[in-house]
Amino acid sequence: MTDRTRDELISDCVHCGFCLPTCPTYVLWGEEMDSPRGRIQLMLQQSQGEPLTPTMAGHFDACLGCMACVTACPSGVRYDTLIEQTRVQVEEAVPRGRADRLLREAIFALFPYRSRLALAKAPLRAYQLLGRPFRSVLPAALATLADLAPPVRRSLPLPALIPPVGPRRARVALLTGCVQHAFFPGVNAATARVLAAEGCEVVVPPGQGCCGALSVHSGRQEEARRFARALVDTFTATDVDYLVVNAAGCGSSLKELGELLPDDSRAAALSLRVRDLSEVLVELGPAAPRHPLRLRIAYHDACHLGHAQGVRAQPRRLLAEIPELVLHEIPEAEICCGSAGIWNILNPGPASELATRKATNVLSTGAEVLVTANPGCLMQIASGLSRAGTTLRLAHTAEVLDASIRGVNLPRSGS
């Protein structure tokens, strides 16, 4: 991302305040130390010799990492680089309380592993069918996880090779992800169908694992590198034009593989081929006919797609190409929904406030469907809409495109 020193990056901040109205924690609490410029001030104090205290670490932990401040900053401050570096220091130097430590270890013992997520689906399904009246006796974090999870569906593995419809225009690999694979199998299936319909030969390596995004965003650098190295081994062997990603957080991290693994030239080469689904489809241009979808939709920019990757126009362009579909913009679009990787599990109270705020803004558009491109956002906004007592539908961008190309009704997300 940059070869500049940490002190140089810190000095770029002129404390103008343009970041304040875009920062979720500042919007919630109005506390200077829970704003980007406040956290940068803490980083400056630390670089000048102040110890990294638990209080200071708490302000860093409270950051969602949504990168809305990076978009808003007129001075080009690389807050994304600064907060990732700082989180590594927090993980290495600041002891956590027992409950917090155990919760984090449990999260990272589960989410990056497909086989463990698969095992967790059975008790979750039982809870969804029978156990909700007993929610009050569950530990808070477990209750939060259970409430966020979508209805459990059987994961049907995709074929290792999916041929294109018509002449081959590109050969691509598909990252099927961890949470996406376990809880939104319909999104991966829709992604593969859309790519094939647009003339892509789709390679789906069956042995692929976690990309390391959750670990990167939480300061667990060595763990992230271990996952990333395995992924590089898997996808370097695929001989493809692009590595297509349909989860914003994963795509953001994979585009920075070269920075995470600077000693591996294959990582830098692979990162140059990483594309969000919408980027690939816009670059190729439409080949498959679009059938009308008489829907009013609201499009939500996932933070790690809009702010971190700068991918905003492409999804909107793809949706606008669907006949009879009407696209609505969401007020306060720059404010995160509160998902932010595992932030909503670690901070369920403020995450709920942000989800409710996002749900209120979505409902104000009058849309029938909320569309976004990240599984965490789908789950988080669904929780906010549920608390608002609405049955508004949610869908991934790939599912909307798939329904239009096939001329079928839009399913519930992941079905």
Cα–Cα distance between 80 and 304 in angstroms, integer? 11
Tokens matching residue 312: 């905003």
DSSP state of 46: H
Q: In the sheet where 161-162 sits, what is the strand order?
A: 161-162, 200-203, 170-175, 242-245, 274-276
Which residue do the tokens 């901070």 mark? 347
What pLDDT shows up at residue 415? 45
Instruction: Return the pLDDT at 414.
Output: 46
The pairing of beta strand 296-299 with beta strand 369-372: parallel
8 A C-beta contact, residue 264 and residue 229: yes
| Closest to 401 in 3D by CA, of 270, 310, 293, 328 | 293
Q: What is the dihedral of CA 78, 80, 86, 87, to 10 degrees?
A: 180
The pLDDT of residue 132 is 66
d(CA 392, CA 405): 23
Asked if residues 175 and 243 have their Cβ atoms less than 8 Å apart, the reply is: yes
Looking at 272-347, list the stretches that DSSP marks H as alpha helix, in order from N- to C-terminal side: 277-284, 303-306, 313-320, 343-346
Q: What is the pLDDT of residues 50-105, one digit of tens each?
A: 999 999 999 999 999 999 999 999 999 999 999 999 999 999 999 999 999 999 99
**Helix 98-110, helix 114-126: angle, nearest 10:** 110
Query: Distance (Å, rounded) from C-alpha 59 to C-alpha 70?
Result: 18
Asked if 197 and 405 count as a contact pair (C-beta separation under 8 A), the reply is: yes
Confidence (pLDDT) at 151:
86
Question: Which burial class, exposed, middle or buried, applies to 274 when counting CB atoms under 10 A from its CB (0-12, 13-18, 19+)?
Answer: buried
- Number of Cβ within 10 Å of residue 273's Cβ equals 18
**d(C-alpha 296, C-alpha 392), whole Å:** 11
Half-sphere exposure of 277 (CA within 13 A, CB side): 34
- Amino acid 73 reads C
So what's the pLDDT on residue 125?
86
C-alpha–C-alpha distance, residues 43 and 35, integer Å? 12
Strand (E) or helix (H) holding 201? strand 200-203
Chain CA centroid to CA 220, Å: 17
Q: List per-residue pLDDT tens for the chain, 415 residues long.
A: 456 899 999 999 999 999 999 999 999 999 999 999 999 999 999 999 999 999 999 999 999 999 999 999 999 999 999 999 999 999 999 999 999 999 999 999 999 999 999 998 888 888 888 766 667 677 777 778 888 888 888 878 899 999 999 999 999 999 999 999 999 999 999 999 999 999 999 999 998 999 999 999 999 999 999 999 999 999 998 999 999 999 999 999 999 999 999 999 999 999 999 999 999 999 999 999 999 999 999 999 999 999 999 999 999 999 999 999 999 999 999 999 999 999 999 999 999 999 999 999 999 999 999 999 999 999 999 999 998 888 799 999 999 999 999 999 987 654 4
* The pLDDT of residue 129: 82
